[in-house]
Amino acid sequence: MNINWKRISKAAIASLLILGTVTATAQRTKKKPVKKVATAKPVFSPVGIVNQLMNDSCLVPFFRKAENADEVSVLHLGDSHLQAGFFPGTVAAKLQEQFGNAGRGYVFPYNVAKTNGPTDYHWGTNSAWQAARVVEKTNWYTGPGGIVLYSQQPSADLSLTLRSGTISTAEVLYEGGALGDASVQPLPGAGNGLSMATLRFPEGTTTMGLRWSGVPDTKFYGAVLRNGQKGLLYHTVGINGAMFSNYNNMDLSLQVQAAWLRPNLVILSLGTNEAFGYLSASQFRAEIDETVTTLRKASPEGTVFILTTPPSGMGKAVRTPYRKKVNGKYKTYYRSKFRTNAHVAVLRNEIVSYCRAEGLACWDFYNIMKSDARFSRGWAADHLHFNATGYNLQGTLLAEAILKAFKNTITYSNMLTLEKLISQLLYDPKDPILFNSAFFLFFFAAFLVCYQLVSNSIRGRVWVFTLFSLYFFYKACGMYVGLVIIAAIVDFYLSNTIHRSQSQRTRKALLVFSIIINLGLLFLFKYTDFFIGVWNDLSHGHITPLGLLLPIGISFYTFENLSYTIDVYRKEINPVTDFLDYLFFLSFFPKLMMGPIVRAADFIPQIYKPFHVDAEDIGKGMYLILGGLIKKVIISDLIYQNFVVFIFDDPSRHTGLECLLGVYGYALVIYCDFSGYSDMAIGIARWTGFKIPQNFDTPYKSASITEFWRRWHISLSSWLRDYLYIPLGGNRKGKVRQYINQFLTMLIGGFWHGANWTFILWGALHGLMLGLDKTRMNFMKARGWDKWTGPKRMALRVAGILFTFHFVCFCWIFFHARTFDIALSLLHQVAYDFRGDLFVSVVSGYPAVFALMLAGFVLHFMPHLTWQKMELRLARLPLWGSVAVMVIFIWVLAQVKSSEPMLPIYLQF
């Protein structure tokens, strides 16, 4: 196992700082008289894959040589995905923009051999050449391109024309007669017969002629072209139908050929043909290991890194039936579709596992492609290969990942300490601060140190917390931090004016003004483009969408602003008189971005209490933080990135069984993602002396949809009840009006989640089911079924849990699907192409995913008493024990976490 001790040691220091500060503060805080303040009247108290390399530090030797050496070379070995040159050509062009262009690199006359090849150069000949390929298992040496040209004439010729770039020198690998007046030397390790000739050309040359004479048998293996400039050579070797075993079994050994090309970096892009041939995982791993070992021997100073295989199809369409109503009768029709080769995922997992074990860099193209909708337009007709658009996109993404690794591992390490520090402290839109990010550990440690220094001063605590919270929000979304400050200023002054005003008309006008301001900002950033799209659809207009970025957390702090002003208007609380106190409440960083939605009546009185953290707070906080990280990073991220994202990307390419399991997986993903982040927020707040309300209470244990909404996103459902459902009339105006109010509340709740018709339908479905559930409860109560006990009551509850869970899962389909077409396609697969006989095959293809899903649901349904005992044990740990738990946990997290961090799902809301 490749252990990053540097990262672990940093985590240990940060953990020690955090826990030491919390514990020391808890030990020295004493109870003080509580300052009397006005108390509130009682009130009733739902994605993405980052494009980066795994183990990118492995590329540091290559990057350093690319920066300092006159020439550096890359050898890209692969199968037919490389042969046409689109994919590697894009990578080469972008890397050469960064490191310089030293020439075209390896070339071969593919067009003469009557096979596919790059289009940026062309070969001509007047001779009769024949070709042999390594995949055909001939007895000929096949050269680095896996192919050889041979001529049996006394003389033979070839000519090359570059469509871009120039030729200064050419190293030609061949066997046969004399090659003009070129300086010739034998190829080391290749045995007798093979020669390497060096040809030199005048400046600006774009064509090259080769003529052999004197021997009737000539074999040509390829050439390396340089342009006389400093920079990078990119050798592309793509063999149609190739596997790792073909490179391992070359007659002219891979080691000898790689030594000729002298690569500083070798990129391996293989696996499609192994997946199509259903090569076993163990045999596939052995083939990878043999190839990597050979390449390391050929170029001891070189670096090897591997790409995971693209999620290609089976190579041919599958006809699936569907029914359609025609003239009042249903008829069976058939549609052709391409189904994903499930074995690709098995080999993808083997590549990632091998790279982790051997400490190799890896680019997980399998997952990146699945998460990028642009690739849906990049398939070729066979769904095994890509078109030019798909290959160019793949090349662009790989080059971006390599250059990002270069920036992270070299550029930053070469910067002055002060510059590096400043760059880390500034907002980076590609790397926002999150609770599960490394930067947050040090941010939180620094915050606790400063917070402890002022822990005996109310004003000092408010100042420190507010400044750190505003900085946290700046690191999360840049200059949008100004929106929080503006919102705080507006509602602070409006609420105080409402409180002082004696005129009911003035109070109501100010309240309406506050609602318009808050909802107006939310509407501007979140819903403007949605309504522009609706208008364009209805009127055939062409209004250009604004394309505004959605500020992180705006939906949450907008609702907090509204509840505060409404509570002041209702005279349920008195407004704060110090602006900083209100800004502190609104910007409180643990809940700022993703909730819970905190009421001012519950939070603001805590500001004026003495700071007090005891062993219970430490244990509870640690339990919530560790549990939240397990939910978010281990369960949610891994299940989503390794299974769920593939299903929802294109359900028509999967069986109904896979789609159903994908929906079950998403139910667990969204719960663990959101509740995990909420748990971390509550735990962090607990460590700072504040208690914010629970947001989730094992919702999938619910036996009815009404109970579900008492357990799911509790802060939102209670907010909607108190500030929307009850003002609409609640249940005070008859049964019909009650059902309408419930429906409207959930409809608006769905729209709150996102500006998309799928979210509106999701809310409408829940609203309809709440009404039906209310009718069901009245029906059961009238017949006395609600008073059942024993086995009858247990059976009724189990049935209710199963029905509620599956209804919620059904609704999650529309919640997560980008379009109705995707949602309906998934439902169609479940209904008409279920294929339950593939259960064992599907589960065996994703063993880690389904093990996590099983563990997640088992943990979810465990009794509360089990978790209470766990909290108590954590609370009783001494300081060294707490630090040990945190360090061990962070180490485990570093080993199992996904190589591509995923932003929280609810961050988009």
User: Contact 21/904 with Cβ under 8 angstroms?
Assistant: no
Helix or strand run (H / E) with residue 451: helix 438-453
Mean pLDDT, residues 164-186:
78
Give me the pLDDT at residue 8, please.
43
Mean pLDDT, residues 606-616:
86
Helix axes 579-587, 554-569, angle to 10 degrees: 140
Give me the pLDDT at residue 714, please.
93
Per-residue pLDDT reduced to its tens digit, 806-827: 999 999 999 999 889 899 999 9
Give me the pLDDT at residue 35, please.
36
Question: What is the pTM (predicted TM-score) of this model?
Answer: 0.64
In the chain, pLDDT over 90 holds for what percent of residues?
32
Per-residue pLDDT reduced to its tens digit, 532-575: 888 888 888 788 888 888 888 888 899 999 999 999 999 999 99
Q: Using CA atoms, how far apart are residues 702 and 598, in angstroms rounded to an integer?
A: 24
Query: 3-state DSSP call for residue 231?
Result: strand
Mean pLDDT, residues 41-55:
51
Mean pLDDT, residues 620-625:
87
Beta bridge mates, 231: 71
Which phi and psi angles does 427 have, rounded to 5°? -65, 135
Given the residues 383, 654, 713, 753, the one annotated as active site: 753
Give me the pLDDT at residue 39, please.
33
Token duo for residue 676:
């995990």
Residue 836, judged by CB atoms within 10 A of its CB (0-12, 13-18, 19+), counts as exposed
Give me the pLDDT at residue 573, please.
92
Dihedral (C-alpha) 366, 370, 372, 376: value to the nearest 10 degrees?
Answer: 110
Token duo for residue 862:
């465990």
Give me the pLDDT at residue 891, please.
67
Helix or strand run (H / E) with residue 678: helix 656-687
Per-residue pLDDT reduced to its tens digit, 703-738: 999 999 999 999 999 999 999 999 988 888 888 888
Which phi and psi angles does 286 have, rounded to 5°? -65, -40
User: Contact 299/258 with Cβ under 8 angstroms?
Assistant: yes
Query: Residue 385 corresponds to which amino acid?
Result: H
Whether 383 sits among the annotated catalytic residues: the reply is: no
Residue 762, pLDDT > 90, answer: yes
Q: Using CA atoms, how far apart are residues 233 and 31, in angstroms rounded to an integer?
A: 70
Residue 14, pLDDT > 60, answer: no
Q: Using CA atoms, how far apart are residues 425 and 409, in angstroms rounded to an integer?
A: 18
Residue 903's Cα: distance from chain center in Å?
6
Mean pLDDT, residues 674-679:
91
Q: Which of 40-44, 558-562, 731-735, 786-790 has the highest mean pLDDT?
A: 558-562
Query: Rounded to whole angstroms, what are the CA distances from 657 to 156, 246, 466?
Result: 60, 36, 50
Sheet holding 231-238, edge to edge: 101-103, 231-238, 71-78, 265-269, 303-307, 361-363
Give me the pLDDT at residue 325, please.
60
Residue 408, pLDDT > 90, answer: no
Mean pLDDT, residues 486-509:
93
Residue 98, pLDDT > 50, answer: yes
43 — pLDDT class (breaks 50, 70, 90):
very low
Question: Within 10 A of 468 (CB to CB), how many other CB atoms are there?
Answer: 19
User: Contact 233/105 with Cβ under 8 angstroms?
Assistant: yes
- Mean per-residue pLDDT over the chain, rounded: 82
Buried b (16+ CB within 10 A) or exposed e, 76-86: bbbbbbbbbbb
Give me the pLDDT at residue 826, please.
93
Query: Rounded to whole angstroms, what are the CA distances from 517 to 543, 637, 703?
Result: 24, 37, 40
Per-residue pLDDT reduced to its tens digit, 216-226: 788 888 899 99
Q: Using CA atoms, how far apart are residues 366 and 560, in angstroms rounded to an integer?
A: 41
SS3 content of the chain, % helix, strand, coil (to 5): 60, 15, 30
Name, in order, each residue with C-beta under 8 angstroms of 305's C-beta and a sequence gap of 6 or more: 53, 58, 59, 265, 266, 267, 268, 355, 360, 361, 362, 363
Query: Residue 243 corresponds to which amino acid?
Result: M
Q: Using CA atoms, how far apart are residues 590 and 681, in angstroms rounded to an integer?
A: 5
Give me the pLDDT at residue 682, please.
92
Query: Residue 533 corresponds to which amino acid?
Result: G
Least confident of 419-423, 869-873, 894-898: 894-898
Residue 845, pLDDT > 70, answer: yes
User: Contact 750/763 with Cβ under 8 angstroms?
Assistant: yes
Residue 80, pLDDT > 50, answer: yes
User: Contact 76/267 with Cβ under 8 angstroms?
Assistant: yes
User: Contact 672/712 with Cβ under 8 angstroms?
Assistant: no
- Going by their DSSP bridges, the two strands 71-78 and 265-269 should be labelled as parallel
Residue 486, pLDDT > 80, answer: yes
Mean pLDDT, residues 506-516:
93
End-to-end CA distance of the chain: 38
Task: Report the candidate in 597, 628, 548 with the shortest Cα–Cα distance to residue 904.
Answer: 628
Name, in order, each residue with C-beta under 8 angstroms of 785's C-beta and a sequence gap of 6 or more: 796
Using left for φ > 0, alpha for ψ between -120 and 50, and beta otherwise, residue 719 falls in alpha
Give me the pLDDT at residue 38, please.
35
Task: Report the candidate in 717, 324, 447, 775 with the shortest Cα–Cα distance to residue 559.
Answer: 717
Sheet holding 207-213, edge to edge: 121-124, 155-162, 207-213, 178-179
Mean pLDDT, residues 10-25:
49
User: Contact 123/111 with Cβ under 8 angstroms?
Assistant: yes
Residue 74, pLDDT > 50, answer: yes
Name, in order, each residue with C-beta under 8 angstroms of 560's C-beta and a sequence gap of 6 or more: 585, 586, 597, 598, 599, 600
Residue 414, judged by CB atoms within 10 A of its CB (0-12, 13-18, 19+), counts as exposed
User: Contact 228/68 with Cβ under 8 angstroms?
Assistant: no
Residue 423, pLDDT > 80, answer: no
41 — pLDDT class (breaks 50, 70, 90):
very low
- Altogether, the residues listed in the chain come to a count of 909
Least confident of 35-49, 202-216, 695-709, 890-904: 35-49
902 — pLDDT class (breaks 50, 70, 90):
low
Query: 3-state DSSP call for residue 755?
Result: coil
Give me the pLDDT at residue 515, please.
93
Give me the pLDDT at residue 189, please.
54
User: Contact 102/65 with Cβ under 8 angstroms?
Assistant: no
Q: Which of 181-190, 291-300, 405-414, 870-879 has the highest mean pLDDT?
A: 291-300
Residue 753's Cα: distance from chain center in Å?
20
Q: Using CA atoms, how far apart are residues 15 and 885, in angstroms rounded to an integer?
A: 10
